Structure 1
């Protein structure tokens, strides 16, 4: 559809362009991942889990004050459509919050409180859901599919082969400075693999569907719109995007109880922040009380405590439940693949498509073509979550 050529559209396009110029350098994950995880892990283990790690973070390379000031000088009153104007108001507050998160990384409580404003914290229901999942037995880890066998370099081959399903290209790089075992950097269209990790067949199946099938798909779809906000990200897009990504694991028959328990442990770890737990205390909670193997307990603790208290990790489970219910209510998943968008703004997305300011999703997650899940226990758990 051709873009409406009028004053209102020009005002919206100008505001969107201005915001894009300001925020495309903000990739929170680029700043919040510690640079010395492995060194601090060795020190932490040698201290018998008593001495909290002291993490170092990348240098911030933008002027924070100028970004804040320019964000709030946008003339949103020129956008006539109330819903779209409200969306952009939410966007400006969201990015201001992310800037505050970035500028306080490593400062302890300041970063934690900024994360609370940006991502929230688990509710009592969320914690109860996590504990419910933890009652179930893990899959048999002696099954060959769960055995570690591939280096990051060997894993690259599987990602490249999987990506032939899609009409786009991206870069792959390796790093020993990320807390995840793989991640997509949206702003540079890059998949990053963790060189410290040895991948199993199950993890390859999970990660290809999660990272490429959703995160890279929404990265590429986001770039196709006249409006850049589809690429930079809507408010609260993290919950929807992670929910979609784990849902792709489910639809491709790769979501296991073990994986659901990993997401539940993340909720427990984030909840420990609200209780004022130190790094070592969260670790001991996971390792001693929940019997998590110490390597896994360490990395889950890093994910939640990095920066000073990063609360985002509980959103994987809440996002999965919302997307699962959305799909089973017969709703269209493709609208959620149009970019880094949020469930809360489906009506606004459809309005923008009708106005010619956005386009339907070109790339569709392969796993969504057919529900291949055969794991009845996983279905029971997801249906039962509050």
Structure 2
């Protein structure tokens, strides 16, 4: 590392290295996805949507108390640069919160309150934005691009072909134990595809741009820095990361009204969770009141109620709006691709690059080069969101 100003690089390097060794095993998505989704789905449907699922979760494989203690024992006072020291304080509190989330998965309200601390919950404005989107007619459901037709093995070939435009390698794994149809595990650079899903052309286009074009890009960029926090994540990075990922769908002309409504339903579901709705009541709200297909309604409800109440899903829509505004203001998107970073820390990222403690993004999201969006209705919605 290059020494600049009053940064004690030796102390900073040691703190960063210590945190890196501690948080490698903290991948919330690895623990919060139920292992018995399909079995409980059958039981729930058989009960006529009345008996809440009883989900099982992966075993936690680390000593939670020791991890907390080790995080808070870091000698941050040796970092003389106040801006950097404050960033690392925020990071330690962030990781401690994630550990609390993991250790309370499946405990009901305890997990929900920890999730609230980490991710928040929708505001009245967020719910109004979601309902605004739901007023729009979505695309023709019979359009061939929405027809399910690719097995998980066939879908894998599309991801591999799409990834040729990027100069990095990652693993692909298939699983029937995830609530999403695809996701990136940051810590082990793995794309996980859902074996229970049959993929449409639109989903392939959305997921390649979303998961590879952003999530894997920021994973790979994060590994290139002297400081490992770019890889493990800045505080509250989920909103920025999901906003960037959905924005990639928009820039590649794959963001549809249907997809926006899916994100809006997630906001409605998280809001229902905040109001105290049970799993079955949230499901019935989506399926009966909003007339959502029961499979779609079930998986949205699983995403929100897993662990005991996981509020993260409303951030896709709020993140998209923030990134859309950031782009419209002519700001540099590549700054936000430097790793698992947060829009609100843009100034700190620039400062770290200037001090030689970080590097500009090497891999750039392919769709960000040119705005290919032709959907004027989507543009109108994004401009109109409050």
TM-score, normalised relative to structure 1: 0.99
**Residue in 1 that maps onto 2:307:** 307
State the 1:185 CA deviation: 0.3
Alignment of 1:230-249 (within 5 A): 230-249=230-249
Alignment of 1:131-150 (within 5 A): 131-150=131-150
CA distance in 1, matches of 2:20, 2:206: 32
Gaps of 5+ in 1: none
**Residue in 1 that maps onto 2:220:** 220
Alignment of 1:246-265 (within 5 A): 246-265=246-265
SS at match of 1:193: strand
Alignment of 1:74-89 (within 5 A): 74-89=74-89
SS at match of 1:172: strand
Q: Deviations over 1:14-67 (max 9, x none)?
A: 101111111110000000000000000000000000000000000000000000
Query: Contact 2:40 / 2:55 at 8 angstroms: preserved in 1?
Result: yes
CA distance in 2, matches of 1:3, 1:278: 54
2:56 is the alignment partner of 1:45? no
Gaps of 5+ in 2: none
Q: Deviations over 1:289-316 (max 9, x none)?
A: 0000000000000000000000000000
State the 1:7 CA deviation: 7.0
Q: Deviating runs (4+, > 3 A) in structure 1?
A: none
Alignment of 1:320-359 (within 5 A): 320-359=320-359
**Residue in 2 that maps onto 1:156:** 156
Alignment of 1:1-386 (within 5 A): 3-4=2-3, 8-386=8-386
CA distance in 2, matches of 1:170, 1:120: 31
SS at match of 2:371: coil
SS at match of 2:325: helix
CA distance in 1, matches of 2:96, 2:68: 6
SS at match of 1:188: coil
Instruction: Single out whichever of 353-362 and 77-86 deviates more from structure 2.
Output: 77-86
CA distance in 1, matches of 2:244, 2:313: 14
Query: Contact 2:7 / 2:81 at 8 angstroms: preserved in 1?
Result: no
State the 1:355 CA deviation: 1.0
CA distance in 1, matches of 2:366, 2:51: 45
TM-score, normalised relative to structure 2: 0.99
State the 1:83 CA deviation: 1.3
SS at match of 2:193: strand
